[in-house]
A and B are shown apart, each in its own frame.
Chain A
Amino acid sequence: MKWRLVFLLALVLPDLPLDPFHGGLAASLWHPLGVDDLGRDALLRLLLAGARSVGFASACALLALGLALLLAWRGRRWRGALSALRSLPPVLFLLPLAAALGGIGIAALLLLLGLLLAPHLEPPLRVKLDTIRRSPAWAAERTLGATPASTLRRWGPWALDQAAVLFPSAWLGALWGEATLSTLGLGPGPSHDSLGRLLLEQLPRLATDPSPLGWGALVVVLGLAWSASKPPAEKRTALSRG
């Protein structure tokens, strides 16, 4: 979880300069993945787009997990509304919104994806929190007159650990959500380069006009999928013991 949070810094990096008179160059020593049609170094573009997408997904996952934790803790009475929100397909909800607003900016998309992901993360967190709420330790604390502040101090780190286990799935949801909207042409504008935009540009060309940038984008996406599919540490230990 922690290494992905480093990429939050990439959200404030400047854009790459355009040099359209030197576009479309093949791979060379100075440009290992070549240069795109607008004269931007493809490797640099891939790194910047990847870092920005990872930073966006990390910020979105943090927001969604925070909200999900709050809903799991206090949202019991809103179970019906949360169930209906889980039945709303996020992309189908975002499409009319993007069409109505003429596209969704990066900050608004972060907020919306966070809000739409939170109801999906709430049930597994609620199951874990309910186990603790029914335990003798919890009942003993209530009997001894624990205040909300002391409860938060005692159980907060544990709840954060439980939320951290769900971070990879929230992160992937945000990453692919942004990529999907960009693929449908409804994500942030062309000024915001991301993995979604790269996939949109390069994937259809792979069969007929493959470029190193296209293959590079594919490798980065598969690498991210590989890193997010790693089981949590305690599970690996249990499996290795078994």
Chain B
Amino acid sequence: MRLRAWGTVAQGAAVWALALALAWSLPGALWRPVPPPPFPVHALLPAVLALGALALAAPLLAWLGGPDLATRRPLALLEAPPDLLWAGVLLACWPAAWGPPGQGGWLVAFLAAALPGEVRWLSAALPGEVPFPAAWGSEVVRRARRLALARLVSRWLAARLPIWLTASLVLERMLGVPGLGMDWMERVAGRDRAGLAAWVAALALLWLLSRSLEVEAVA
């Protein structure tokens, strides 16, 4: 069993090593070399706030709605439009007198784009409630949901963090807000191979840390 776990880690490590090699060997060069962009430290706080809001709101809504929420069509409809459409709708509705949407608008668009999908992810992962614990009353149902969500949340965070980074990139680009996603893109444009490799290494570390949670889910 332990040997098999090491085997899966070795396979994953090979994939990440390949990604690292690709980042290091990114072809092309700038006509006029420029220093690599500094890491956007100022974007860390908004990103942490956005992730914190998502990490609180999604489990709360899943707890309130339960597993039935996963089959609701309105939620599926909210989940279907891509992040770029939410950014476009925000731009269309944003009053010009208020100036550019900025970080506040970005946070609204990010939550609108990410929240429905995450609530559905969590609701779909909750165990069924019919006939039990539904027959034991609403208090037991709420407690069962809370216990299930407590086990799910860390795995959910580890599995979805890279996806949120992608959503963030599109929204940052459309709303003109510099952030973590734009940092990736600027490093690609500036051929900052070391910076890209550091990003890949960070994602690989995140994957490695989430391995124990995935093994638990499989077992």
| Cβ-based interface call for A80 (8 A) | yes
A78 touching B165 in the complex, CB below 8 Å, given contacts A95-B184, A184-B173, A228-B80 = no
B166 contacts A89, C-beta separation under 8 Å = yes
A99 touching B82 in the complex, CB below 8 Å, given contacts A80-B8, A183-B170 = no
| Cβ-based interface call for A10 (8 A) | no
| Cβ-based interface call for A172 (8 A) | yes
A172 contacts B80, C-beta separation under 8 Å = yes
Contact of A229 among B80, B169, B206 (CB under 8 A): B80
Contact with B along A212-233 (1 / 0, CB 8 A): 0000001001100110111100
Complex Cα spacing A138 to B13, Å: 35
Q: Write the chain B residue with the least CB distance to A184.
A: B173
Q: Which segment of B31-39, B45-53, B87-95, B135-143 sits at the interface?
A: B87-95
Q: How many residues belonging to B are interface residues under a CB distance threshold of 8 Å?
A: 57
| Cβ-based interface call for B23 (8 A) | yes
Complex Cα spacing A222 to B77, Å: 9
Q: How many residues belonging to A are interface residues under a CB distance threshold of 8 Å?
A: 43
Complex Cα spacing A199 to B19, Å: 31
| Cβ-based interface call for B156 (8 A) | no
Report 5 cross-chain contacts, Cβ distance below 8 Å, ordered by A residue: A92-B199, A176-B84, A180-B82, A221-B81, A225-B80
4 new A-B contacts at CB < 8 Å, known A89-B163, A92-B165, A96-B196: A83-B12, A85-B15, A100-B26, A231-B76
On B, residues with C-beta under 8 Å from A are: 7-16, 19, 22-23, 26-28, 71, 73, 76-77, 79-85, 87-89, 91-94, 96, 159, 162-163, 165-166, 169-170, 173-174, 184-185, 188-189, 196, 199, 203-204, 206-207, 210-211, 214
On A, residues with C-beta under 8 Å from B are: 78-81, 83-93, 95-96, 99-100, 172, 176, 179-180, 183-184, 199, 203-204, 206-208, 210, 218, 221-222, 225-226, 228-231, 235, 239
